[in-house]
Amino acid sequence: MPDDARHAGAPHGFRTRMSHGGRAGTKTHGFVNPPVHRGSTVLYPRCADRIASASKRFDQALTYGTQGGPNHHALEDVICEIEGGTRCQIVGTGLAAVTVPLLAYLSAGDHVLVPDSVYGPARAFADTQLTRMGIETTYYDTCVDEAGMAALIRPNTKVVYTESPGSHSFEVQDIPAIARAAHARGCKVLMDNTWGIHHFQPFGHGVDVSIQALTKYVVGHSDVLLGSITVNSPDDWTAIRSTALAHGHYASPDDCWLALRGVRTMPVRLAAQQEAGLEVARWFAARPEVLRVLHPALPGAPGNELWKRDFTGACSLFGVVFRPDYSVEATHAFVDALSLFGIGASWGGYESLALPTTGFIKRSATSGDLGGPTVRIHVGLEDVADLIADIERGLAALAAHRDEAEASK
């Protein structure tokens, strides 16, 4: 079995591991894919087996539906392969993967540091739920360095939360520097690694707990919501697993099955979307209407130096900042004129998206001013030539909107 070969010291490539991971022992009636195991009750052969199972809730034992079944465990194993961790907890959404680790390490009276460009619903969780529980949040400049982070940590700071690149503004964080400052003061480092997927190996860069919205590229087809929390030490596993179970977190085995199916093609989708995303990003960058393109893998773009140092690739989500002489309404006209790009929030699927973000993103530690009205672009698996022809039509609408506004002055 490929998995065993890896443990015997013969690592396979990423595509091979995504093709074979989580399949050991799952063949039924000779079919390639495993069945979906739906279940609440697990029957024990004897009373003694039931007693013995009580101590196994931190293992992939089959004891009760909420503890997970074969589909969950197969997906957990594959996510560990993607992120380089040792244990993984699957939860029902990416947002639950954000909240469980925060609740695992924070108690009343504690303090948490959160980057200013954090995923919006994570900010809302801190501002409402954590505040209600007597946990104080400080938002920090996403581009903080090691000394800056050290200065922000208080005696009661327990968690340094990170997300790189930042939501909507795509700043790349210096995770190793932040982790050094955090660990020197006994803080846990949590990271939302959804953009990086396997292009950023969190545990090699000082992260203790890695969060993924599997909803994005792992599922890859915009039809399932799932999250994962991956760790690399037994203590972190105990903290995460016990918190997830105590809160009753669970994911549907059907959804895990679909995520596993997504995994099989994810490496080729990621490679194709990385290339197409860069092509579209470069094309935007050369346009006179565009002030700058927020894509960490573009030479000269913000965060490109750190991206080159720490990442092995990029996904296909980036920002386009239009020149400030275009209004927000003109960018809406641009997006409305697109026919191949949907207007929608999630990403990582096979279809392209364009989402105006100006006015929708909240910042409190920094100004959040990107220099002009901004549209977030997700490049799917369509032909790049078709996407660019569509964008050209959109840019005509952008210009027409500005000309009409000028004429009516």
Ligand X SMILES: *Cc1c(COP(=O)(O)O)cnc(C)c1O
How does strand 317-322 pair with strand 290-294?
Answer: antiparallel
| Torsions phi, psi for 109 (to 5 deg) | 95, -10
> Do 37 and 71 contact (CB within 8 A), yes or no?
yes
Does residue number 255 form part of the binding site for ligand X (CB under 6 A)?
Answer: no
Does residue number 244 form part of the binding site for ligand X (CB under 6 A)?
Answer: no
Secondary structure, 3-state, 57-104: CCCCCCCCHHHCCHHHHHHHHHHHHHHCCCEEEEECCHHHHHHHHHHH
Task: Return the residue of 165, 227, 277, 356 that touches ligand X, per CB under 6 A.
Answer: 227
Does residue number 174 form part of the binding site for ligand X (CB under 6 A)?
Answer: no
Q: Minimum CB separation from ligand X for residue 65, in Å?
A: 21
Does residue number 373 form part of the binding site for ligand X (CB under 6 A)?
Answer: no
Does residue number 356 form part of the binding site for ligand X (CB under 6 A)?
Answer: no
d(CA 10, CA 17): 12
Task: Return the residue of 213, 239, 337, 361 that touches ligand X, per CB under 6 A.
Answer: 213
Helix (H) or strand (E) holding 181: helix 175-184
Does residue number 316 form part of the binding site for ligand X (CB under 6 A)?
Answer: no
Task: Return the residue of 3, 81, 192, 390 that touches ligand X, per CB under 6 A.
Answer: 192
Q: Which of residues 110-129 bind ligand X (CB under 6 A)?
A: 119
d(CA 213, CA 229): 9
Which of the ranges 12-20, 91-99, 230-238, 250-258 carries the binding residues for ligand X, by CB under 6 A?
91-99
Does residue number 349 form part of the binding site for ligand X (CB under 6 A)?
Answer: no
Task: Tell me how long the chain is.
Answer: 409
| Torsions phi, psi for 194 (to 5 deg) | -60, -40
Helix (H, G, I), strand (E, B) or coil at 143: coil
Task: Return the residue of 75, 80, 88, 95 that touches ligand X, per CB under 6 A.
Answer: 95
Q: What is the DSSP letter of 136?
A: E
Which of the ranges 39-47, 93-101, 177-185, 276-284 carries the binding residues for ligand X, by CB under 6 A?
93-101
Which of the ranges 3-11, 88-96, 148-156, 172-180 carries the binding residues for ligand X, by CB under 6 A?
88-96
- Contacts to ligand X by CB under 6 A: 93-95, 98, 119, 167, 192, 194, 213, 215, 225, 227, 346
